[in-house]
Amino acid sequence: MNQHKDPLPERLRPIESLIREWLWIDRGRTIMLDVKRENLVEVARGLYKEIGAFFKTCAGVDERPLWGGYAVHHIFGIDEEGLDVVVYVRIPEKDYPWVPSIVREVPAADWCELEFRDLLGIDPRGRLTQRLVLPDDWPEEVKPLRKDVPYGYRPPRAEETKPAEVGMYPSGVPVGPYHPALHEPEYFELYVEGEEVVDVRYRGFHVHRGIEKLAESPRFDYNKVTFLAERICGICGFVHSCAYVMAVERAGKVEVPERAEYIRALLLEVERLHSHLLWLGVAAHLLGYDAGFMHAWRVREKTMILAEYLTGSRKTYGMNLVGGVRKDITPEKVPKILKVLEEVAKGTKKVADMIVSVPQVRKRLEGTGVLRKSDAAALSVVGPVARASGLNRDVRKDYPYLAYKDVSFKVPVYSEGDNLSRTLVRVEEIFESIEIIKQLLDRMPPGEVLNEEWDIEPGRYAVTSVEAPRGEDTHLLITGVGRPYRWRVRAPTYANIPALRPMLRGQELADAPITIASIDPCFSCTDRMLVIDVRTGKRSVLVTRPQVKVVSLG
Amino acid sequence: MSFINLALSLALLGVAVAIAPILDTVDRKLRARLHSRIGPPTILQTWYDIAKLLRKEIVVSEGGAAVIVPLSMTAASALLALSSLPPGMPSPFAPLDLLYLIMFSAAAHASFILIAVSSGNVYAVIGGFREFVLVSVNEVAYVLGLTAVALSTGVLSFSGAAYYGDFRPIPYIVSFALLSLCLYVSSARIPFDLGEAEPELASGVLIELSGPLLAFGIISVLLKRFLAAAVTATAIALPIMRYSGVYGLPGFGLLLGLTIAVWVIHALIAASLGRSRVGVAVKTLISLYIPLTLLAYTLLLFGV
């Protein structure tokens, strides 16, 4: 490990007695606390409730080839200090690895615990468990992220599997997996009394793409993973690519030319512009105001053309490499960029004013989908969702990276926590992004944009966070030989979806789509079907090919 | 009833069926212009869409067969309601044309709700109940508005008012405002398209329909929309017919022209608003209907 033995930060003193050892992974930025398994819950409680850290994610790692056991990494962030705290727990058992669950202390750890249970077979004890990521017919004994499972493993096709029982109420309104309010397939079941939503159940992770495993495969090297990372998301792919290369560069101590850092920051802001304008249009459409939808997308189109002008692609820019970027933004491009920014600023002002002044739109945004500050903090939500609920969280300010330390900008924060606040946060962020791009262009230093002279030692470690349009995108990386040994990605939607339950409860059904959309969700690629037997009210999820075939043929 | 009365009434029905989809394309084209996009490539686009649906196979979902009767009733009721209007000549239903208009309009709305309930789909049922709530409020105001318009002409018949109505301008204008608002709501456009609210209910009432059944569903909705525009147009045309003596074919043309104009106005209003919620919509409507109704009947009562 890349470690430095500096003193423990003052902020972490309350839990000092529970820490076996601490290592500065990245001085001033990331500290790893080696904690005995029996002290994990106490440490998590101390960090979350006493010290006031936010929970970012957790990851299980198969470290048997390194020292003979497994490990769990819980990543917390102390925003005020700009400090990532990795709580590292060794698990000596090779056959039935387990760790105590921290979900009672840290509700935000719910999904990632289930995820390491599914993918590595590390059992989080002391909580209810269920499959989260793997399909129901995946063989129980195969844990795909273990190092002895080949990346190309295909499980035998299951022809007959007992359908999983789902649903808690006798009746519900299914929203998804294919639904006009959702622009990606996902599944919500809303339980309603009249028009009021009384509860909600979400089922996601229907197709896990195995990207983390793929990155560890011999088909990939450090640079190729950059392009894989960009394909995690069709809207904010550059965020993932940046978070990944930054993790590699930090872990491997790769020097990155300053100009490349400016270009990356600039493109991240271009991506934020198009993403927020896209969201604004979708929100208007969900509220039945299609004029707002079309005009928001008309303005957005300019940002897409700008992206193409700067990178050669409207989306999936393919600009990043470990050590810098592939293409420079030359001075002769600056006037055109400024012209487009001017047009986008004017257009956004008009469209945003128009949308929020439509009475029906305003009424349906104001006071709906409220997420209280306490709930937002408990669930460690991120991005505009957090900022609209009064949490002043923005990775660009709290954990400065790339060129953000050299620019000044405001972080819009609202206290109402409703759909209108989330809308206004995004609208204000559009203008802030425009100002950031102008400052970056003004201050961009000359020089090279790519350092190709680097060599990365195995066993090094880094945690990076990038502020995506939807919130904080966190990547954990352990270096291997020629490629990552372990790469963990936590997209912002992962942190924000659990907040939908408190947001939707008590709302009218009509406002459910805009409330779901207000977190600007980004889901995986497909879903399974829910079957309701109308005679018995019994629900089941179709999991086998014959079951699907029977239903398809009616 | 003379042959020409019947011929003009039938012509109105034929024209309604023929041009409602064309007007829908106009609607789409207008919206597209306001959205800075091109919109449908031809004025016949909605007709092409309907024709395409009609050529598809009939797929009836479980419980879907039950929607066929209310679907037919919706279209038939809308057409019968249309034939209660004076198309340049007295309606075949005169002098009880207003009664028939109210009855058939209500039947069109009721059967539309029945489509939803019959399909058994959860989205359709929710859409149906939304329609029911909205129609319950709107129909009361519609009857009161229609009656107030008639009372301010001194004749309880549109056909009669076109020939010998004695119009009282101020009550007529207030009653017309009430009636036209009710008719806009009954046209099920934004912000009152709650039964079909696509982002929430995925077409709501019509969700179980596909192919030819969906084509008939679309025609039914368009006919209801045409009816709303035509009744509004009739209320505008009545004083013109009465005082300018525009009857027969010119009267028919006047009614048709005004219907198209009202349709366009409805389309423009819809394009500039967002969708409401059922609770908010009902409250808003009640807060508008009560003062307008009170004002109209007070003016009538005091002989203004």
- Whole-angstrom distance, CA of residue A145 vs CA of residue A214: 10
- Whole-angstrom distance, CA of residue B97 vs CA of residue B106: 14
pLDDT of res. A526? 26
Per residue in B149-169, pLDDT (tens digit) is: 999 999 999 999 999 889 999
Q: How confident is the model at residue A525 (pLDDT cuts 50, 70, 90)?
A: very low
Cβ-proximal residues to A469 (8 Å cutoff; 6+ apart), any chain: A235, A236, A239, A271, A272, A275, A276, A279, A383, A384, A426, A429, A520
List phi, psi (to 5°) of B302: -90, 10
pLDDT of res. B64? 67
A311: distance to nearest CA of chain B, Å?
27
| Residue A26, helix vs strand vs coil | strand
- Whole-angstrom distance, CA of residue A121 vs CA of residue A98: 8
Structural domains in chain B (count): 1
Burial of A316 (0-12, 13-18, 19+ CB in 10 A): middle
Share of chain A above pLDDT 70, in %: 89
| Residue A506, helix vs strand vs coil | coil
- Whole-angstrom distance, CA of residue A323 vs CA of residue A328: 14
* A291 contacts in chain B (CB < 8 Å): 31, 34-35, 271-272
Residues across chain A = 554
pLDDT of res. A165? 52
| Nearest alpha-carbon partner for A470 in A275, A286, A280 | A275
Per residue in B231-287, pLDDT (tens digit) is: 999 999 999 999 998 888 999 999 999 999 999 999 999 999 988 888 889 999 999
Q: Do A359 and B273 touch (CB under 8 A)?
A: yes
Q: In which domain, by residue range, is B227 found?
A: 3-301
Full 3-state SS string of A126-189: CCCCCCCCCCCCCCCCCCCCCCCCCCCCCCCCCCCCCCEECCCCCCCEEECCCCCCCCCCCEEE
pLDDT of res. A507? 87
pLDDT of res. B121? 80
Cβ-proximal residues to A355 (8 Å cutoff; 6+ apart), any chain: A280, A283, A284, A289, A292, A296, A361, A423
- Whole-angstrom distance, CA of residue A310 vs CA of residue A333: 8
A298: distance to nearest CA of chain B, Å?
8
A231 vs A195, which has greater pLDDT? A231
Cβ-proximal residues to B3 (8 Å cutoff; 6+ apart), any chain: none
Q: Do B199 and A180 touch (CB under 8 A)?
A: yes
Per residue in B82-105, pLDDT (tens digit) is: 999 998 888 888 889 999 999 999
Residues 171-230 of B with CB under 8 A from A: 190-191, 193-194, 197-200, 202
Q: Do A360 and B198 touch (CB under 8 A)?
A: no
Q: Do B277 and A289 touch (CB under 8 A)?
A: no
pLDDT of res. B94? 82
**Six-digit token string for B273:** 């608003």
Q: How confident is the model at residue A542 (pLDDT cuts 50, 70, 90)?
A: very low
| Nearest alpha-carbon partner for B70 in B2, B21, B128, B126 | B128
Residue A516: how many other CB atoms lie within 10 Å? 26
B192: distance to nearest CA of chain A, Å?
10
Tell me if chain A has a CB within 8 Å of the CB of B123: yes
pLDDT of res. A2? 46
Q: How confident is the model at residue A245 (pLDDT cuts 50, 70, 90)?
A: very high
**Six-digit token string for B24:** 């829908």
| Nearest alpha-carbon partner for B209 in B197, B224, B196, B199 | B196
**Six-digit token string for A384:** 């505009």
Q: Which residues pair with A540 in a beta bridge?
A: A165, A531
Q: Do B122 and A285 touch (CB under 8 A)?
A: no
Residue A260 clears pLDDT 70, i.e. is over it: yes
Residue A548 clears pLDDT 60, i.e. is over it: no
Q: How confident is the model at residue B220 (pLDDT cuts 50, 70, 90)?
A: very high
| Residue B298, helix vs strand vs coil | helix
Label the pairing between strands A30-35 and A83-91: parallel
Per residue in B50-59, pLDDT (tens digit) is: 999 999 998 8
Buried-exposed string A434-472: b where 16+ CB fall within 10 A, e elsewhere: bbbbbbbbeebeeeebbbeeeebeeebbbbbbbbbbbbb
Cα A432 to chain centroid, rounded: 22
Per residue in A490-516, pLDDT (tens digit) is: 999 889 988 988 999 988 888 888 898
Per residue in A2-26, pLDDT (tens digit) is: 455 688 899 999 999 999 999 999 8
Residue B181 clears pLDDT 90, i.e. is over it: yes
Optimal mutation site among B200, B208, B210, B283, interface A, most CBs of chain A within 10 A: B200
B295 vs A524, which has greater pLDDT? B295
Q: List the single residue in B198, B273, B278 with the smallest CB-CB distance to A180.
A: B198
Buried-exposed string A22-53: b where 16+ CB fall within 10 A, e elsewhere: bbbbbeebbbbbebeeebbbbbbbbbbeebeb
Residues across chain B = 304
**Six-digit token string for B225:** 């929309």
Q: Are B101 and B92 in contact (CB under 8 A)?
A: no
Tell me if chain B has a CB within 8 Å of the CB of A525: no
* B272 contacts in chain A (CB < 8 Å): 291, 358
Domains of chain A with bracketed CATH: 10-133 (3.30.460.80), 211-517 (1.10.645.10)
Q: List the single residue in A179, A295, A364 with the smallest CB-CB distance to B36.
A: A295
- Whole-angstrom distance, CA of residue A351 vs CA of residue A296: 6
Burial of B49 (0-12, 13-18, 19+ CB in 10 A): middle
Residue A90 clears pLDDT 70, i.e. is over it: yes
- Whole-angstrom distance, CA of residue A488 vs CA of residue A119: 12
Which amino acid, A479?
T
- Whole-angstrom distance, CA of residue A70 vs CA of residue A54: 24
Per residue in A221-232, pLDDT (tens digit) is: 999 999 999 998
Which amino acid, A8?
L
Q: Are B125 and B81 in contact (CB under 8 A)?
A: no
Residue A536 clears pLDDT 80, i.e. is over it: no
Q: How confident is the model at residue A94 (pLDDT cuts 50, 70, 90)?
A: confident
- Per the prediction, chain B carries an average pLDDT of 90
Give the up-direction half-sphere exposure of residue A248: CA atoms within 13 A in the CB hemisphere.
29
B57: distance to nearest CA of chain A, Å?
15
Q: How confident is the model at residue A550 (pLDDT cuts 50, 70, 90)?
A: very low
pLDDT of res. A174? 72
Q: Do B200 and A509 touch (CB under 8 A)?
A: yes
- State mean pLDDT over A416-443: 96
pLDDT of res. A102? 96
Q: Tell me chain B's radius of gyration from C-alpha atoms.
A: 19
Instruction: Find the distance separating the first CA and the last CA of chain A, reported in whole Å.
Output: 58
Q: How confident is the model at residue A397 (pLDDT cuts 50, 70, 90)?
A: very high
- Whole-angstrom distance, CA of residue A97 vs CA of residue A90: 10
Q: Which residues pair with A35 in a beta bridge?
A: A19, A89
- Whole-angstrom distance, CA of residue A196 vs CA of residue B68: 31
Label the pairing between strands A123-125 and A539-541: unpaired
B203: distance to nearest CA of chain A, Å?
9
| Residue B109, helix vs strand vs coil | helix
- Per the prediction, chain A carries an average pLDDT of 88
Tell me if chain B has a CB within 8 Å of the CB of A182: no
pLDDT of res. A177? 65
Q: Are A284 and A359 in contact (CB under 8 A)?
A: no
pLDDT of res. B236? 96
Instruction: Find the distance separating the first CA and the last CA of chain B, reported in whole Å.
Output: 35
pLDDT of res. A181? 63
